[in-house]
């Protein structure tokens, strides 16, 4: 559905990504992991066509992404950006309705289809009760849900989320991850999420993409990606990888230099 | 806001505008009764639906002197307020307005050139508006291209470039002043101070199309302006052609500013304080903000112009001085009161 062919990208002549090949297919939940500054956001910007690559091609449904009209891209792909600046004085409904922009023919009123999609998006994200609240009065978790609802109102086939769970409490983190994986399971969407929490990534994502030193270090199922050797290369820390008995998914525990579990970096939170 | 409320609100402000206009036509050295004003209007604008039962003098005062003047201040007030609101929305900056972007200085250079070179004698009444609009458009394109990096135009650099170019153009106006003849100099100075004293039906006819046209274009972009509040990247994600939208907004704004400046000179603060007051009262959603600013800007400028006429009768105060006298203290008050960015916006 979305293909990256031999992509290289840079900021002001500083190379950030080199020779990236990637293939995003529907019905799969992809997690992009890697240390801070590895280029995860940059990779997402390349995939969404916001940033042009220095070399290589981005193909959306077999066609170069920069050949699409912007509105056509927005009908296929929706983005929840890393830092969503939220201007005050808009209601939740106003914001979610903005997701219908690429479809809107009429200048001043919404069609029935538009209104239905907005309602559905709010339903799925569970923010129906907030409809008339102002977004600047909401909590960070609720705001993030509003932004996700706006993306869903675009009725996309690909959903991109850049660290949507950062700064959220565990309840909201779980809510967003459950929602995303439900969209992938039930509606056949492709989801691409940048995520820092390796245990959550292992538990929810079908495929992981580990970025390191401008390249994709490794990519595949959580079992193939999350090995102590890979994590040592990418993050420079010793880890132990086991199975969580409750969730039956992989669990990464960071060890300190002596090989013992270091209290302050203990990552084995059982959700 | 529900649809019903929306139309109620606009209807309310619109009625206020009609009322203000009527009041402004009444007031002057010769006071004319409100009913007579309405009768003369109805008689004139419906082609004699009401029998004429008054002398020629009030009719001349109402129709030839005061009505075109009030109409012109309505049009200019709408234009300045709407383009101010649109520029603030585009730049997500409450200080943005056509003046800050150098557009009005560009229009002023064009208009001053027309006056100094005496082009009015050759090209008739269209010389000043055309040169003013050309000045505004050329300026915004120069500013836009200075600010451009690659195919993007970052907002911050655009504002900075606007301020720099505006200051330069202001120097050009000063240069035109010292190189003008005595008679032309007087005209330039009078014109620069801003005034509707010379308003005629001809002026109204010249600017009504560009002003209303530009205002309509800006009001058509309310959805885009709303989305732009979330930043340009989000706008692109939602499928907006941000650079095209920017260009449309800038050109429409230049058209409105050029037309307004050409008939009334430089009138400051309207584009700054009117949208600001509306925003505080009704929120910053542009589908409300723009039309409401248009109506409120018209009311505000009609009031200021009436003040300009009556405060020191029989002479007149330039309206630019009135708007500055009201606008500057109000702005200082806002600055003092401001606690955080949320309050401000
Ligand atoms: N707009 C920019 N201009 C210059 N450098 C940038 C810009 N954005 C990101 N970078 C640099 O690119 C690198 C990768 O950034 P990013 O993709 O945001 O990383 P991540 O999302 O993985 O933390 C970082 O070193 C960062 O400093
Ligand atoms: Mg990032």
DSSP letter for each residue of A108-120: SS--HHHHHHHHH
Report how far residue A104's alpha carbon sits from residue B287's, in angstroms, rounded to the nearest whole number. Answer: 15
CA distance, residue B344 to nearest chain A CA (Å): 10
Q: Residue B18: inside a domain, yes or no?
A: yes
Q: Which of A74, A89, A90 sits opposite B238 (nearest CB)?
A: A74
pLDDT for residue B318: 86
Token readout for B251 is 């050109």
pLDDT for residue B123: 74
In terms of CA atoms, which chain B residue is nearest residue A154? B238
Q: Is the pLDDT of residue A265 over 60?
A: no
Whether ligand 1 lies within 6 angstroms of the CB of A42 is answered as: yes
Q: Residue B253: inside a domain, yes or no?
A: yes
Q: Residue B132: inside a domain, yes or no?
A: yes
Pick the more confident residue, A161 or B51: A161
| Structure confidence by residue, pLDDT tens digits, A72-104 | 999 999 999 987 678 877 899 999 999 999 998
Domain hosting B180: range is 3-339
Beta pairing partners, A251: A242
pLDDT for residue A261: 54
B175 touches A: beta carbon within 8 Å: no
Q: List, for chain B, all residue ranges whose pLDDT scores fall below the cut of 70.
A: 1-4, 151-152, 338-345
Whether ligand 1 lies within 6 angstroms of the CB of A36 is answered as: yes
Q: Residue B130: helix, strand or coil by DSSP?
A: helix
* Contact between residue B23 and residue B299 where contact means Cβ atoms under 8 Å apart: no
Cα three-residue angle A72-A77-A81, rounded to 5 degrees: 125
pTM: 0.88
pLDDT for residue A105: 74
pLDDT for residue B155: 72
Pick the more confident residue, A35 or A259: A35
Q: The domain that contains B149 carries what CATH number?
A: 1.10.3470.10
| Structure confidence by residue, pLDDT tens digits, B129-174 | 888 888 998 998 899 889 887 766 777 788 889 889 999 998 999 9
Q: Residue B344: inside a domain, yes or no?
A: no
- Mean pLDDT computed over A179-189: 95
Quick one: which atom of ligand 1 is closest to the CA of A211? 22
pLDDT for residue B284: 81
- Mean pLDDT computed over A134-146: 91
pLDDT for residue A59: 96
The 3-state DSSP composition of chain B as helix, strand, coil percent (nearest 5) reads 80, 0, 20
ipTM > 0.95?
no
Share of chain A above pLDDT 70, in %: 93
Q: Residue B76: inside a domain, yes or no?
A: yes
Residue with CA at minimum distance from ligand 1 atom 20: A37
Residue carrying the six token digits 């003040």: B307
The number of beta carbons lying within 10 Å of the beta carbon of residue B31 is: 9
A81 touches B: beta carbon within 8 Å: yes
Q: Place A6 in a pLDDT band, splitting at 50, 70 and 90.
A: very high
Q: Residue B345: inside a domain, yes or no?
A: no
Token readout for A246 is 């409750």
Q: Residue B205: inside a domain, yes or no?
A: yes
pLDDT for residue A271: 44
Pick the more confident residue, A265 or A230: A230
| Structure confidence by residue, pLDDT tens digits, B80-92 | 999 999 998 988 8
Whether ligand 1 lies within 6 angstroms of the CB of A41 is answered as: yes
- Which chain B residues are closer than 8 Å to A84 by Cβ? 230, 234
Q: Place A264 in a pLDDT band, splitting at 50, 70 and 90.
A: very low
pLDDT for residue A258: 58
- Mean pLDDT computed over A181-187: 95
Whether ligand 1 lies within 6 angstroms of the CB of A165 is answered as: no
Q: Residue B12: inside a domain, yes or no?
A: yes
Q: Is the pLDDT of residue A134 over 50?
A: yes
For chain A, counts of helices (H) and of strands (E): 9, 12
Residue A126 falls in which region: left (phi positive, over 0), alpha (psi -120 to 50) or beta: left
**Total domains present in chain B:** 1
Residue ranges in A103-212 assigned as alpha helix (H): 112-125, 140-153, 170-187, 198-204
pLDDT for residue A241: 92
| Structure confidence by residue, pLDDT tens digits, A12-65 | 999 999 999 999 999 999 999 999 999 999 999 999 999 999 999 999 999 999
In this complex, do A87 and B345 lie within 8 Å of one another by their Cβ atoms? yes
Instruction: Please name which of B205, B311, B305, B306 lies closest in space to residue B265, comparing C-alpha atoms.
Output: B305
CA of B107 to the centre of ligand 2 (A): 44
What's the CA dihedral at B187, B190, B193, B197 to 10 degrees?
A: -120
- Which chain A residues are closer than 8 Å to B345 by Cβ? 87-89
pLDDT for residue B151: 66
Report how far residue A134's alpha carbon sits from residue B284's, in angstroms, rounded to the nearest whole number. Answer: 12
Residue with CA at minimum distance from ligand 1 atom 26: A37
Whether ligand 1 lies within 6 angstroms of the CB of A39 is answered as: yes
Q: Choosing among A52, A70, A78, which should be mutated to test the B contact, i.e. which has the most B CBs within 10 A?
A: A70
pLDDT for residue B3: 60
In terms of CA atoms, which chain A residue is nearest residue B92? A87
Q: Strands A215-220 and A207-212, how do they pair?
A: antiparallel
Tell me how far the alpha carbon of residue B295 is from its chain's centroid.
11
Residue B59 falls in which region: left (phi positive, over 0), alpha (psi -120 to 50) or beta: alpha
């Amino acid at each position: 559905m979305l293909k990256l062919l031999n992509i290289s990208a840079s900021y002001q002549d500083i190379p950030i990504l080199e020779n990236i090949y990637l293939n995003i297919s529907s019905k799969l939940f992809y997690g992009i992991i890697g240390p801070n500054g590895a280029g995860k956001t940059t990779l997402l910007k390349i995939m969404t066509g916001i940033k042009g690559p220095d070399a290589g091609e981005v193909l959306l449904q077999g066609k170069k992404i920069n050949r699409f009209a912007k509105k056509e891209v927005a009908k296929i792909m929706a983005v929840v950006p890393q830092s969503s600046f939220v201007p005050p004085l808009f209601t939740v409904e106003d914001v979610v309705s903005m997701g219908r922009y690429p479809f809107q023919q009429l200048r001043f009123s919404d069609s029935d289809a538009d209104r239905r999609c907005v309602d559905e998006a709010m339903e799925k994200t569970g923010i129906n009760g907030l409809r008339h609240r102002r977004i600047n009065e909401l909590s960070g978790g609720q705001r993030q849900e509003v932004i996700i609802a706006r993306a869903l109102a675009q009725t996309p086939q690909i959903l991109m989320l850049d660290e949507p769970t950062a700064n959220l409490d565990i309840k909201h983190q779980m809510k967003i991850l459950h929602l995303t994986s439900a969209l992938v399971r039930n509606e056949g969407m492709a989801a691409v999420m940048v995520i820092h929490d390796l245990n959550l990534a292992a538990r929810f994502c079908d495929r992981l993409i580990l970025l390191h030193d401008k390249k994709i270090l490794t990519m595949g199922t959580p079992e193939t990606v999350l090995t102590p050797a890979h994590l040592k290369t990418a993050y420079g820390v010793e880890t132990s990888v086991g199975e969580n008995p409750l969730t039956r998914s992989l669990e990464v525990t960071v060890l300190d230099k002596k090989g013992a579990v270091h209290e302050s970096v203990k990552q084995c939170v059982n959700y | 806001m529900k649809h019903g409320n929306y139309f109620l609100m606009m209807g309310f402000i619109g009625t206020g505008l009609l009322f203000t206009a009527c009041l402004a036509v009444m007031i002057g050295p010769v006071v004319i009764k409100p009913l007579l004003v309405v009768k003369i209007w109805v008689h004139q604008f419906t082609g004699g639906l009401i029998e004429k039962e008054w002398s020629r003098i009030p009719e001349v005062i109402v129709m030839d002197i005061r009505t075109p003047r009030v109409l012109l201040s309505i049009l200019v007030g709408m234009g300045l307020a709407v383009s101010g609101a649109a520029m603030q929305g585009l730049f997500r900056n409450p200080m943005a307005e056509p003046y800050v972007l150098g557009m009005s200085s560009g229009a002023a250079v064009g208009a001053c050139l027309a006056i100094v070179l005496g082009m009015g004698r050759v090209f008739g009444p269209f010389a000043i508006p055309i040169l003013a609009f050309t000045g505004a458009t050329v300026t915004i394109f120069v500013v836009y291209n200075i600010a451009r990096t690659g195919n993007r135009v970052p907002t911050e650099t655009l504002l900075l470039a606007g301020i720099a170019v505006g200051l330069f153009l202001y120097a050009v106006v000063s240069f035109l002043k010292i190189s003008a003849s005595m008679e032309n100099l007087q005209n330039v100075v009078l014109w620069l101070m801003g005034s509707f004293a010379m308003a005629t039906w001809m002026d109204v006819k010249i600017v009504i199309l560009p002003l209303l046209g530009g205002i309509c274009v800006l009001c058509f972009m309310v959805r885009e302006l709303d989305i732009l509040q979330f930043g340009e990247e989000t706008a692109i994600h939602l499928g907006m052609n941000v650079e095209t939208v920017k260009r449309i907004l800038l050109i429409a704004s230049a058209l409105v500013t050029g037309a307004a400046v050409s008939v009334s000179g430089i009138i400051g603060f309207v584009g700054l304080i009117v949208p600001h007051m509306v925003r505080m009262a009704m929120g910053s959603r542009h589908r409300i903000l723009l039309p409401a600013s248009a109506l409120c800007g018209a009311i505000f400028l009609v009031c200021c112009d009436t003040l300009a006429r009556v405060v020191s009768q029989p002479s007149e105060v330039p309206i630019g001085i009135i708007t500055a006298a009201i606008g500057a203290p109000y702005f200082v008050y806002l600055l003092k009161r401001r606690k955080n960015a949320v309050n401000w916006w």
